[in-house]
Amino acid sequence: MAETRRPKLAVWKFSSCDGCQLSLLDCELELLAVAEAVEIAYFLEATRTVGKGPYDLSLVEGSITTPHDVQRIGEVRRQSKLLVTIGACATAGGIQALRNFKDIKGFIDRVYAHPEYIEALATSTAIADHVTVDFELRGCPINKNQLLELLSALLNRRKPNIPTYAECIECKTRGTVCVMVAKGEPCLGPVVQAGCGNLCPAQGRGCYGCFGPLGNLPNTAALTAQFAAMGMDRRDIQRRFRSFNANAQAFRKESEAYDD
C-alpha cells in the first residue's frame, strides 16, 4: 500500500436507523486499525469534525424518501470516488419501503398534527435507483465482518470476499441442522443472500431475509409453494417477503403475487 496519503472515508446517512453506521463503531478492536488505515473525514455519528471532500470512499446508509434526499445523494455521488451502500435501507429501501405498497398521504394525515409541513416522496427507494453505486453491502444491519472485509479489500486492491450464494450454504458449512427439514419451520434462506453469519438458523429459527434476495432471480415461487404445502396461509406468506427488503425487486414481485 502506498504510504503517501490515507484514503479519505465519509459516512453518509439518509432515511435509516443508524444501525449500519454503528456497525463501524462496533468494530471495537479493529476500529483503531481502521482509523490508522483511512482518514475518517466525514462521520457525524462519530465526530463533529468535518473534513472536506472529495472522498475516496463514501459509505452510504439509508434510503431516499424526500426530495431533499434526492438532491443530497447527487452531491454525495459527485464528491465520492467510490460509493458503497451499506444495509437494507440503502440497498433496497429498507423497512420504510412498506409505504410503497400503500398510500403515503393516508399515513401522513394520521401521524402528523400538521401534515402540510411534511415533504415526503411517495416511495422509499434504494440509492442505486438514483445514482451509480459501486458496491452494495447487504443486511439489516450489515455484518461488521463484511464491512471490515470490504475495507481491507479496497485498501489492498483486491476483490472483496462477499458471498453471493444462499444462506443455506452458511447453514451447511457451519453444521446447522436445517429448520425447514427438521422442524417444518418456514425459512427464507434458500432465496436469501448469505452474509449474516447464520444468525437465525443457528438459533433454530427460519431466516427473515435481512440480507435480501439471492442474485440472479431467486426462485421465490418454488419456496412459497413449499410454504403453502407446509400449511402457511397466503397472508403469512406475503408477510414473509414484506420486511427489511420488501422493495427489492424479487421480494416485491413475490409478495405482490400474494395480493388477494
Partner 1 sequence: MAPSIGAKVVLLREDLDRLIAELRERGYVVIGPTLGEGAILYEEVTSSGDLPAGWSDVAEAAAYRLQEGADRRLFGYSLAAQGWKRHLYPPRQRLFLAERAGRGFRLSSGEADGAPMALLGVRACELAAIQIQDRVFTKEGFTEPGYAGRRRAAFIVAVECGRAAATCFCASAGTGPAVGPGYDLLLNEMIDGDAHRFLATAGSDNGAAILGGLSCRPPTAAELSSAAAQPAAAAAQQQRRISADAAGVLTRAAESPHWEAVSKRCLTCGNCTMVCPTCFCTTVEDITDLSGDIAERWRQWDSCFTIDYSYIHGGSVRQSGAARYRQWITHKLASWHRQFGSSGCVGCGRCIAWCPVGIDITAELHALEQAEQVSKGGDNGAD
Residues that bind ligand SF4 (CB under 6 A): 167-168, 171, 178-180, 187, 189-190, 201, 206-207
Residue 148 binds which of ligand SF4, partner 1, none (CB < 5-8 A, kind-dependent): partner 1
User: What's the grid cell of residue 164?
Assistant: 453471493
Q: Which of 69/170 has CB closer to ligand SF4? A: 170
Residue 134 binds which of partner 1, ligand SF4, none (CB < 5-8 A, kind-dependent): none
CA pair distance 160, 164, nearest whole angstrom: 11
Do strands 39-43 and 80-86 pair parallel, antiparallel, or not at all (unpaired)?
unpaired
Q: Which of 78/174 has CB closer to ligand SF4? A: 174
Q: Which of 94/206 has CB closer to ligand SF4? A: 206
Report the nearest approach of partner 1 to the CB of residue 162 (Å).
Answer: 10
Report the nearest approach of ligand SF4 to the CB of residue 200 (Å).
Answer: 8
Number of residues that bind partner 1 (CB under 8 A): 48
What is the per-residue burial (b if ≥16 Cβ within 10 Å, else e) of 104-135? beeebeeeeeeeeeeebbebbbbbbebbebeb
Closest residue by Cα to residue 55 from 123, 175, 164, 154: 154
Q: Which of 98/155 has CB closer to partner 1? A: 155
Q: Which of 89/192 has CB closer to partner 1? A: 192
Q: Could you say which residues in the range 12-71 bind partner 1, by CB under 8 A?
A: 30, 33-34, 36-37
Residue 204 region by backbone torsions, left for phi larger than 0, else alpha for psi between -120 and 50, else beta? left
Q: Could you say which residues in the range 168-227 bind partner 1, by CB under 8 A?
A: 168-169, 172-178, 180-184, 187, 189-191, 204, 214-216, 218-219, 221-223, 225-226
Report the nearest approach of partner 1 to the CB of residue 234 (Å).
Answer: 18
Q: Could you say which residues in the range 135-154 bind partner 1, by CB under 8 A?
A: 148-149, 151-153
Report the nearest approach of ligand SF4 to the CB of residue 139 (Å).
Answer: 15
Residues that bind partner 1 (CB under 8 A): 1, 30, 33-34, 36-37, 148-149, 151-153, 155-156, 158, 161, 163-166, 168-169, 172-178, 180-184, 187, 189-191, 204, 214-216, 218-219, 221-223, 225-226
